[in-house]
Amino acid sequence: MTEPAMETVDSFGMTAERMFADVWSRGVLSAKERRLLLLGLLVGQGIDDQLEVQLDAALRAGELSESELREVVVFLTHYAGWTRGSRLNNQVEDLIEGARRGRSDRRGLGG
């Protein structure tokens, strides 16, 4: 009799995913409020790779509009400093340009 194949289980990943799902699904703060808090934290800590992911998620989910993202840049620049604010501005403008280009490309395919 052969033993069943061992499956690799990412227990840390599963636990982290569950914890994040629980935190994001609580009812007191809206998703937009949570996203704004997270963006502020990521900018303040200089965690640019995760910031890019969260900016994209905020725009795609409709939690923050283009103008709201730009206002986040203005606000956080004054608290996190000009260097971090400048990087944030570049990330936001690149994201907005990419999103607009993507919408334009999809329209071109459809018609």
**More confident: 104 or 77:** 77
- pLDDT for 94: 97
- pLDDT for 100: 92
Q: Please determine, for residue 66, whether its predicted confidence score (pLDDT) is greater than 70.
A: yes
The answer to the question of residue 64 being in a domain is yes
The answer to the question of residue 10 being in a domain is no
- What's the rounded mean pLDDT across residues 72-96? 97
Smallest CA-to-CA distance from 58 within 88, 28, 84 is with: 88
The answer to the question of residue 7 being in a domain is no
> Around Cβ 20, how many Cβ atoms within 10 Å?
10
The encoded tokens of residue 29 equal 């703060």
- Note the pTM of the prediction, 2 decimals: 0.79
The answer to the question of residue 44 being in a domain is yes
- pLDDT for 24: 86
Q: Please determine, for residue 95, whether its predicted confidence score (pLDDT) is greater than 80.
A: yes
- Domain of 46: which CATH number? 1.20.1290.10
Helices (H), the chain: 11-25, 31-45, 48-60, 66-80, 82-110
The answer to the question of residue 1 being in a domain is no
The answer to the question of residue 8 being in a domain is no
Q: How confident is the model at residue 70 (pLDDT cuts 50, 70, 90)?
A: very high
The span from the CA of 61 to the CA of 104, in Å, is 18
Interhelix angle 31-45/82-110, nearest 10 degrees: 130
Domain that holds residue 35: 27-110
Q: Please determine, for residue 64, whether its predicted confidence score (pLDDT) is greater than 90.
A: yes
- What's the rounded mean pLDDT across residues 78-107? 93
The answer to the question of residue 19 being in a domain is no
- pLDDT for 86: 97
What is the number of domains present in the chain?
Answer: 1
The answer to the question of residue 5 being in a domain is no
